[in-house]
């Protein structure tokens, strides 16, 4: 693999490609929880790139909550990957999307409550990093679906219970569909983007201040509001293809 960076628009950098390969390996269960990854030197030799490029990929994995570092010991896998798919099929209609929201309502409020009880400094940094991207997108009147998902995923990791995070990761594609449609509805609603950002901000404050009951209620209200805004006037019937991008 050549280390030369390609500046052609649309091309992925070497760091991004290495990140993708390591992410897939972790999520597929190739590594166990708390298993040490190969060293930067070993990964650089494997991918035939320089150590700074590997370091960038590892930093992104760290920011996504997939790995953590121990001083002098290296990088370790944070949570168990999915050795087998959990059996979630593709979303095909409104009923599937509603069921996904119902499931999230039974899981994420409790994850937020646990995050308020158990979070550490790194957890808060990760949540606030996603919140900052959401704030910047809101200021530009955009909805950033990736940052929105990472916000919710970071909270599930902060719960200290890997089952919450595993469920969220398995549902990423399903949640993305809802977030894309929801982003379009927010842009069409005066003040919608700012309102939802304030909901996210309030959840972070409750978690950081260690108020589990408040965090639980705010997450439930946030998801319920998102669901209701999305499905207002819609029936549980066939759904058109999800938008490729909600700008």
Prediction pTM value: 0.61
Predicted confidence (pLDDT) at residue 138 exceeds the cutoff of 90: no
- Predicted pLDDT at 84: 46
CA pseudo-torsion sign 192, 194, 195, 201: positive
pLDDT digits (tens, 9 = 90+) for 183-215: 777 777 778 889 999 999 999 999 999 999 999
- Predicted pLDDT at 79: 66
pLDDT digits (tens, 9 = 90+) for 58-84: 998 888 888 888 888 889 988 655 444
Tokens of 143: 């909805």
Contact 72, 117 (CB under 8 A): no
In whole angstroms, what is the distance from residue 208 CA to residue 205 CA?
5
- Predicted pLDDT at 86: 56
Which of residues 34 and 186 earns the better pLDDT score?
A: 34
DSSP 123-155: HHHHHHHHHHHHHHHHHTT---HHHHHHHHHHH
For residue 102, the SS3 value is: helix
């Amino acid at each position: 693999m050549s280390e030369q960076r390609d500046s052609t628009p649309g091309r992925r950098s070497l760091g991004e490609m290495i990140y993708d390969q390591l992410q897939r390996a972790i999520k597929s269960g190739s590594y166990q929880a708390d298993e040490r990854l190969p060293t930067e030197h070993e990964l650089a030799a494997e991918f035939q790139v320089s150590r700074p490029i590997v370091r960038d990929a590892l930093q992104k994995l760290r920011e996504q909550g997939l790995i953590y570092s121990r001083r002098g010991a290296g990088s370790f896998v944070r949570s168990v990957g999915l050795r087998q798919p959990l059996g979630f099929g593709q979303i095909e209609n409104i009923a599937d999307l509603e069921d996904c929201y119902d499931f999230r309502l039974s899981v994420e409020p409790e994850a937020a409550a646990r995050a308020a009880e158990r979070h550490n400094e790194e957890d808060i940094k990760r949540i606030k990093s996603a919140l900052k991207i959401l704030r910047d997108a809101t200021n530009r009147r955009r909805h950033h679906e990736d940052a929105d998902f990472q916000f919710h995923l970071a909270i599930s990791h902060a719960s200290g219970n890997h089952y919450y995070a595993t469920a969220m990761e398995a549902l990423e594609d399903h949640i993305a569909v809802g977030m894309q449609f929801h982003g379009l509805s927010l842009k069409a609603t005066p003040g919608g983007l700012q309102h939802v950002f304030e909901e996210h901000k309030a959840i972070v404050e409750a978690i950081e201040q260690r108020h589990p009951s408040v965090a639980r209620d705010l997450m439930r209200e946030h998801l319920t509001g998102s669901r209701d805004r999305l499905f207002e006037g819609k029936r549980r019937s066939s759904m058109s293809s999800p938008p490729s991008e909600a700008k």
